[in-house]
């Protein structure tokens, strides 16, 4: 079911629900770029019949209104509004890759409502002490993020052009990323179910603009608005050791600072290995559901 709710400031947030409407609620936060349509594989959701999956487009993506200047912390406000509109008292949160820092924000800022949180392939804050932020990162990712920091207007133009290409052919994004993918990642995305999921998510993400994509990058590269060390909820941190998009140093930094973290490092996985980890992650996130 797809619907839209209004955030407290009047912005529209487009929402999709799957699974049991009376089941254990899990709010799913999509990748960058991404959307509600590419949040989780259908088979993964079907395998958890006792779960109510709720995914939404972050501001500027798909059918959700933009929130210029948003920070990572602002996701907690939107998730609280979403939960209020859907009648969710307590819920779990799952964020993969670009959605993972936003999941940590919910853990930090909504402790009375959030149960367990899973953050897969997460970056660390840009001001992380004693972390060489770009170390281990694929060259294309370093170049893009450096451009976002030094010339945001040029970076915005680049994303707008790439978004236009994706609207014509969503597979172009995977082609552009291919040289930075590990062999393990290529195997994962070659599976038709995963490839279709990613392309569906990319297509909807930039259907009207690249605004959400741009704002995600700027948010992760700016002050997050919360301290990961303040998280009091149980957090599963999953990481592929071969990931060149969210390097293992970021995982190590978070694992050493999130107080109740359960770190899981998969030695042979890359960035998209997080998709294959989802069944086990959901078993921890929603035991018995």
The model's pLDDT over 152-175, given as tens digits with 9 standing for 90+, comes to 999 999 999 999 999 988 887 777
Q: pLDDT tens across 5-58, in order? A: 999 999 999 999 999 999 999 999 999 999 999 889 999 999 999 999 999 999
- The token duo for 249 is 């140093």
| Distance of alpha carbon 141 from alpha carbon 195, whole angstroms | 21
| Distance of alpha carbon 26 from alpha carbon 221, whole angstroms | 27
- At 107 the pLDDT is 98
Q: Is 19 helix (H, G, I), strand (E, B) or coil?
A: strand
- At 181 the pLDDT is 86
Q: How many CA atoms lie within 13 A of 191 on its CB side?
A: 13
Closest listed residue to residue 138, CA positions, set 195, 179, 100? 179
- At 222 the pLDDT is 96
CATH topology of domain 2-285: Rossmann fold (3.40.50)
- How are beta strands 235-240 and 2-6 bridged, if at all? unpaired
- At 169 the pLDDT is 87
CA distances from 192 to 113, 118, 150, 280 (A): 36, 25, 38, 21
Q: Provide the β-strand partners of residue 240.
A: 266
CA distances from 8 to 53, 85, 88, 113 (A): 22, 10, 16, 18
- At 1 the pLDDT is 62
- At 30 the pLDDT is 97
- At 38 the pLDDT is 87
- At 162 the pLDDT is 92
| Distance of alpha carbon 173 from alpha carbon 284, whole angstroms | 32
Positions in the chain whose pLDDT score sits under 70: 1-2
- At 2 the pLDDT is 64
- At 138 the pLDDT is 93
| Distance of alpha carbon 238 from alpha carbon 215, whole angstroms | 24
CA distances from 1 to 4, 19, 53, 277 (A): 10, 10, 11, 25
- How are beta strands 12-19 and 2-6 bridged, if at all? antiparallel
| Distance of alpha carbon 18 from alpha carbon 30, whole angstroms | 15
Domain residue spans of the chain: 2-285
Residue 112 parent element (H or E)? none
């Amino acid at each position: 079911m797809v619907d839209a709710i209004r955030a407290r400031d009047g912005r529209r947030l487009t929402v999709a629900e799957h699974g049991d409407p009376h089941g254990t609620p899990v709010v799913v936060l999509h990748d960058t770029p991404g959307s509600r349509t590419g949040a989780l594989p259908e088979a993964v959701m079907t395998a958890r019949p006792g779960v109510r999956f709720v995914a939404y487009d972050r501001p500027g993506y798909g059918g959700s209104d933009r929130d210029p200047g948003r920070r990572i912390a602002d996701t907690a406000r939107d998730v609280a509004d979403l939960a209020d509109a859907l009648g969710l008292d307590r819920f779990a949160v799952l964020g993969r890759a670009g959605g993972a820092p936003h999941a940590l924000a919910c853990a930090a800022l909504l402790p009375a409502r959030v149960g367990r949180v899973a953050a897969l392939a997460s970056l660390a804050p840009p001001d992380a002490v004693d972390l060489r932020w770009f170390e281990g990162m694929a060259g294309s990712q370093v170049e893009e993020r450096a451009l976002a920091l030094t010339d945001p207007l040029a970076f915005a133009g680049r994303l707008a052009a790439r978004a236009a290409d994706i609207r014509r052919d969503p597979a172009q994004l995977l082609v552009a990323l291919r040289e930075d993918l590990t062999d393990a990642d290529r195997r994962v995305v070659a599976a038709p179910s995963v490839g279709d999921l990613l392309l569906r998510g990319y297509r909807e993400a930039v259907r009207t603009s690249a605004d959400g994509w741009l704002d995600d990058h700027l948010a992760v590269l700016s002050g997050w608005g919360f301290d990961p060390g303040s998280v009091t909820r149980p957090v599963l941190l999953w990481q592929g050791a071969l990931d060149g998009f969210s390097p293992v140093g970021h995982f190590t930094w978070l694992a050493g600072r999130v107080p109740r973290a359960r770190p899981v490092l998969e030695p042979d996985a890359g960035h998209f290995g997080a998709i294959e980890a989802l069944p086990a992650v959901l078993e921890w996130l929603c035991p018995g559901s």
